[in-house]
Structure 1
Amino acid sequence: MKKDRFTIWQKDMSAQITYSASVITTLTLKIRRKGDLMATGELLDKKLREIRTKREVLLQPAPNYESYKTMLERGFLVRYNYESTAIEGNPLTQIEHDGILNRDQCPNTDRMRSVYEAINHADAFCYVNQHAIEPLNEERLLTLHKLLMSHLLDGGKYRTCNITVRGATHPFPPYTELPQLMNQFFTGLEEKRLSLTKYELAAWAHEEFVSIHPFVDGNGRMARLIMNYILLSYDCLPISVPIEKKEEYFKMLDNYYTDRNIIPLVELIIQQEEREADRVIKVMEPLSYPLIIDYNELHNRYPLKEDYIKELRIIMDRYREEIEKRRGF
């Protein structure tokens, strides 16, 4: 059975919960030392648990929950698709990504490679979303790369040549070492689950994969997909690296080759995890009072006139419409 990776929010972000955006937004993420980092990661977990345990406000689920959930998923996919491909030089705008993914619109362009990159990246993330309940192994990694490279090159195979990357200050391993290095990567992935936090594991896997660069193309996108694969396996929200942090992000990856320091990327991951949590809260947070009323129960419990019930229904319907407008519908 495929597990919906937003299930953790579906269970808890209904009208049965009172949310407090301030619970998340008050987190301090100025991390410089590993001790601070660990404490901050634990604080984030604690705050997320607090939000998910504020229950029993209403007995019925929020109206149009599936619409909210779909909006969240589509919104993230478009933004993630745009940012992860734009970081690698894809010229499509976020609006064009939205048209391709949500409205079957192909931009008027001769840049079909860019369009395929957008479609493939979305397909690859859907694969991650569906399979993250299973351990990441070589077979799934190669399948992921094959999806990412569809119509572009013969994907799903390690490179058989040496490569250089513009802007990189260090050489990547020769292709003859890839079998051994990738075997060590998967072994390390399992071993480090016992010693690293989920944020540290996601950062290590991302940086280690980039340092190996096992494919001819798509290594950066693959690293970010792997990072989300691990986050989703722990029931965290998937994250996206903002395009405005591109230079800072590339510097982290480049520095890892010499100092093997994952802390800067862990800090970035936690910051973006907070960012995604804020987005979910903003969309899903019930405002001041229930949107659904059981009018029959209300009539049975209180001696209210039919005209009053009817008027109340009209008022609540108008209120619900206004809330949905404010939430983007």
Structure 2
Amino acid sequence: MDKKYHPPFTITPSILNLVARISELIGGLDARLDHESALRLRRINRIRTIQGSLAIEGNTLSEEQITAILDGKHVVAPPKDVQEARNALAAYDCLESWSAHSESDLLAAHDRLMAGLIDEVGMYRRSGVGVMADGEVIHMAPPAGRVPILMSELLQWLANTDVHPLIASSVFHYEFEFIHPFADGNGRMGRLWQTLILFRWNPLFADVPVENLVHAHQSEYYTALQESTRQTDSAPFIEFMLRMIISALQGITPQVTPQVTPQVRELLRALKGEMGREALQAALELHDRKSFRERYLRPALAVGLIAMTLPDKPNSRLQQYRLTDKGRKYLAALQQKDTP
């Protein structure tokens, strides 16, 4: 008698607490969002979702540029980046038509997400592949010949498991990245499919910008993947993803003051009118350009508190940054709170 496949993971007390917290947040959102608010947030968060997921893979487009593409406007940007955004917009529009445990839908999603970017679209890879970081191979995926059976087992487990969807979606995401079934596009496919699994549990998740938070915590994302592989247990990755889901849900809860880091608050206080990167770094007395970009600038852009003055040219030497309406409201609320 064949033993059914079961991916290795442990449901820790921390995971159970995170699941309970997410359930509370979802209940609060369902009660607060009217139809008009839901539609407005859906568009905003869909754009943030796509920008975050693509940025993890090196795409340079801003939220403003992806909005322009969605509106059918011309965007001055690398053609590959534009194609990736168009593909992602088309793929996320298909969520309602796909089944999370359907192999044919999984392959169709890859076809849509990677069309025009690689030759092997909508099919499993036919050669070996490794995951690189800083010029080193940090993970060798299973041989190509094993991919079809591994994916079949994983999808069958997903179809039959009674594990909570919040946990099951994270387990699937980790196992998918471990298998690395496609020649390219595995990261964005794993994130898309976790969103689909969660959407099938609660439609609210169609547009919760989890990918945006993952982008802001990209190094932790890869660390959680590696630690789960080291432990042969996806619990570290499950906990990481559940924390990102909580942050994403808190970010779309109707409120004047979004959840931001101390570094982003410092940046907002330092931003006067329109300022370039060098001026901002000087105002904050920061010397490390990479640290400034990863800990201050990108997170502030990700939550929509600041915007580029030249969104069509994100890498321009003339690029400057300004507070958005959301940023001004947040800063005003922060200053009011600080006033005795």
**Could you tell me how far apart the structure 2 residues matched to 1:33 and 1:162 are?**
32
**Could you tell me how far apart the structure 1 residues matched to 2:19 and 2:254 are?**
22
Query: Which residue does 2:58 correspond to in 1?
Result: 89
**Could you tell me how far apart the structure 2 residues matched to 1:149 and 1:51 are?**
33
Query: Which residue does 1:114 correspond to in 2?
Result: 81
| Residues 1-329 of structure 1 mapped to structure 2, 5 A cutoff | 34-46=12-24, 48-49=26-27, 52=30, 65-66=35-36, 68-101=37-70, 103-109=71-77, 111-128=78-95, 130-131=96-97, 134-154=99-119, 155-167=121-133, 168-191=137-160, 193-194=161-162, 196-235=163-202, 237=205, 238-241=208-211, 242=213, 243-282=215-254
**Could you tell me how far apart the structure 1 residues matched to 2:18 and 2:210 are?**
20
Deviation at 1:92, TM superposition (A): 1.6
Distance 1:138 1:90, change over 3 A: same
* Greater Cα radius of gyration, structure 1 or 2: 1
Deviation at 1:227, TM superposition (A): 0.7
Deviation at 1:52, TM superposition (A): 4.5
Residues 106 and 115 in structure 1, CA contact (< 8 A), matched pair in contact too: no
Query: Which residue does 1:8 correspond to in 2?
Result: none
Residues 228 and 234 in structure 2, CA contact (< 8 A), matched pair in contact too: yes
Secondary structure of 1:74's aligned partner: helix
Deviation at 1:53, TM superposition (A): 6.1
Secondary structure of 1:159's aligned partner: coil
Deviations 1:110-146 (A, max 9, x none): x111101011011111112x135x4421000001000
Distance 1:39 1:108, change over 3 A: closer
**Could you tell me how far apart the structure 2 residues matched to 1:188 and 1:119 are?**
32
| Cα root mean square deviation, aligned | 2.7
TM-score, normalised on structure 1? 0.66
Q: Which moved more, 1:231-240 or 1:213-222?
A: 231-240
Q: Which moved more, 1:148-157 or 1:114-123?
A: 148-157
Distance 1:220 1:202, change over 3 A: same
Structure 2: state its 5+ residue gaps. Answer: 1-9, 257-328, 330-340
Q: Which amino acid aligns with 1:89?
A: G
Deviation at 1:257, TM superposition (A): 2.3
**Could you tell me how far apart the structure 2 residues matched to 1:127 and 1:283 are?**
30
Secondary structure of 1:165's aligned partner: strand
Secondary structure of 1:95's aligned partner: helix
Secondary structure of 2:65's aligned partner: helix
Identity, in percent, stands at 25
TM-score, normalised on structure 2? 0.64
Q: Which moved more, 1:263-272 or 1:209-218?
A: 263-272
Structure 1: state its 5+ residue gaps. Answer: 1-31, 55-60, 285-325
Q: Which moved more, 1:159-168 or 1:81-90?
A: 159-168
Secondary structure of 1:156's aligned partner: coil
Distance 1:96 1:178, change over 3 A: same
Aligned residues, how many?
240
